[in-house]
Chain A
Amino acid sequence: MNRFFGTLLTALSLAGCVSVSATKELAGIGAEGGAKNALVVEIVASGWYLFDLLPIVTANSKGEAEFFKDNLCAQSNLDVLDEIVKSENVRRIGMISSHETDEGVLVFLVNRHTFRTTATLLKD
């Protein structure tokens, strides 16, 4: 039984994570306002909740899993975006959009929340 809970906790801690995808494949096609290069960024943060309410493990803006702390919010994703804007020296933003998805596992006992923020960063 202890082994089962150990495995479950390990799986949950691995599952609360942040993935950042920043693609430059749209470079050179021209974007909004005459920008020559567009950098499309998607920040996906996920976490597990008990009864859809109590956080078991969630990812923070550094990509670390934190237990019993609710890190899934727009501010956490924007902190990640902030770092990308700084590193890419972006001066103009085309679009920022956020949405959240929930997946119920074991009926309503455990829920996985995913908070996504997509942004188009414009570079001249």
Chain B
Amino acid sequence: MKFVWAFLGAALLSGCYYVYPASSPTLSQCRFANEDGEIVEHLFVENCGWYLFYTIPICCGDTDESHWFPLVFFDDQVTNEIIQRRFAERVKAKGARAVGITMVNRDTVTFDVPGLPFPVVVPYILCAREVQISGTLIRDVGEEKRDE
């Protein structure tokens, strides 16, 4: 029984929402392919969560950064729409446009258990899901800076 509680507790801690902006003075002096304008930053946004029967969200990272608690329960926030919206909000706040956008969606239904030589498959009972998006923000030279 203790194992089950530890399992559930650890699982609930695992839903996380991250926004990683990254910039560098050297890169901002480079051109991005044939685009005009300066490179503002490279942006990476990720959210992940746990689902029951592949569809019912148990616990996800909270994409609303104004909330103090980083998790939401029974609220599906690991979707392409929500992550793309958060990405777009950041791009707009920077007064930039995004180029070279890539997205990654991943589902995991296999888990390593100590002592077993193979991962345990828990098909459609418990599933970990994550959505990631990354891109490069470019601002036309002379355009007004609108940092958040």
- Interface positions of A (Cβ within 8 A of B): 32-33, 51-53, 73-75, 77-79, 81-82, 85-86, 90-109, 111, 117, 122
Most A-side CB within 10 Å, residue of B30, B34, B44, B48: B44
- The residue from B22, B27, B112 contacting A73, defined by CB atoms under 8 A apart: B22
B38 to chain A, nearest CB (A): 12
Q: How many interface contacts (CB-CB < 8 Å) are there between A and B?
A: 111
- Interface positions of B (Cβ within 8 A of A): 7, 9-11, 13-14, 16, 18, 20-27, 29-34, 39, 42-44, 46, 48, 100, 102, 104, 106, 108, 111-114, 130, 132, 134, 136
Measured in the bound complex, the distance between the Cα atoms of B18 and A111 in whole Å is: 17
Q: Is the CB of B34 within 8 A of A81?
A: no
Measured in the bound complex, the distance between the Cα atoms of B33 and A37 in whole Å is: 13
Given contacts A51-B13, A53-B14, A95-B100, contact A107 B113 (CB under 8 A): yes
Q: Is the CB of B10 within 8 A of A92?
A: no
Interfacial chain B residues near A103, Cβ < 8 Å:
112
Q: Whose C-beta in chain B lies nearest to the C-beta of A78?
A: B22
Interfacial chain A residues near B113, Cβ < 8 Å:
107
